[in-house]
């Protein structure tokens, strides 16, 4: 995905949710270390689905 944007991590934003606290923290750390913009919500996946109404270029 980064390569498709010319290797520019600033041209990519990651949105998502995760129900496992440890995975949530690892994901945030991984994206921050790579300088990738992200919005992972506040780890309340079981309460609300915040990305349901959004449109995405790619989904994993």
Residue 59 has pLDDT above 70, yes or no: no
Q: What tokens appear for 28 in the block?
A: 């945030």
Q: What is residue 60's predicted lDDT score, i.e. its pLDDT?
A: 57
Strand partners of residue 38: 14
Q: What tokens appear for 5 in the block?
A: 């944007």
49 φ, ψ (degrees, to nearest 5): -105, 95
User: Reduced to 3 states, what is the DSSP secondary structure of residue 23?
Assistant: helix
Residue 1 has pLDDT above 80, yes or no: no
pTM of the predicted protein model: 0.60
Task: State the sign of the Cα–Cα–Cα–Cα dihedral 34, 40, 14, 25.
Answer: positive
Q: What are the E-state strand segments in the chain?
A: 13-15, 37-39
Q: Over the stretch 3-27, which tens digit does the pLDDT of each residue have?
A: 887 888 787 777 777 778 888 889 8
């Amino acid at each position: 995905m980064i390569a498709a944007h010319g290797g520019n991590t600033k041209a990519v934003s990651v949105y998502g949710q995760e129900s496992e606290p440890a995975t949530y923290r690892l994901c945030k750390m991984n994206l921050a270390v790579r300088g990738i913009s992200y919005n992972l919500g506040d780890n309340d996946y079981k309460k609300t689905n915040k990305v349901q109404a959004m449109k995405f270029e790619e989904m994993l």
